[in-house]
Structure 1
């Protein structure tokens, strides 16, 4: 819903458009018009793009400076009565929220797979050593560790505006690394 502008000339232009269908109508300080009375080119394009991408903002539609409402069906046409009479904001549907989450996950997966690099073996392994043993307990053997077919994964976590944590883990199916580590004591 859009309040009538404070600029007197622009407010008169809006009122004139409304009076095409309501002859003696005069705006008050509480008068509003919904987005259905404006053409698409009356809105800020960046706000429209954010809305189409599912990015939540305070206002989905933002009028351009100087926009004038032009969509007012004439009385007696079949289009009258088809405009929404709802004054409350529609509730967010679960489907729309799932779609936004799916889009975010899809975009994250694409960027993670493209930009992920393999962690070094030193960072990705935990090795136990026997350095805490007393000298009489020292081992005289050789320990070996071997792991094959290691599939690296990339994990990205984001925090939404509402504070919800989203985590996406992506593995590269075609990246297999074989490695062998030999420890001598």
Structure 2
């Protein structure tokens, strides 16, 4: 979605407000993902200094970097979707008529929404199991695994919301299928 109007007009007002809120949440999660990556880089630098200069062993740094990078990937999903930053081959949509392009868009988007919704359910179940059973990592640090696992349901849920907002944006005319202009 390129330019989202903040004003809500007529019967489509709720949809526009929903699209704006989801867009804001996706942007926030993108910034959080970026902060996680910067933190992981800082922790890696600290780990290198402790090992190379101070000649000491590290306990928590490697595990923290792994959890931060995986969480950043999951939390950044909705932001990448919002910006259409994924790899996109639009040869088929370009060759299709406007009507067929819309059908293809809705088919692929609805399929994506269903798959991501399944991921949300299983991710929540996995996170809840880790929380309920107080799972800990097998390292010396012994981090409670529900903390890094929380990125699974949250990241996929935000992606679900962004996909649904993209769907709604095309339905209400705020956006075009695949971001392509009509012929």
TM-score, scaled to structure 1: 0.27
Kindly name which structure, 1 or 2, has the bigger radius of gyration based on alpha carbons: 1
Which protein is richer in strand relative to its size? 1
Higher helix share: 2
**Which structure exhibits the higher relative contact order, with contacts defined as CA atoms closer than 8 Å and separated by 6 or more residues?**
2
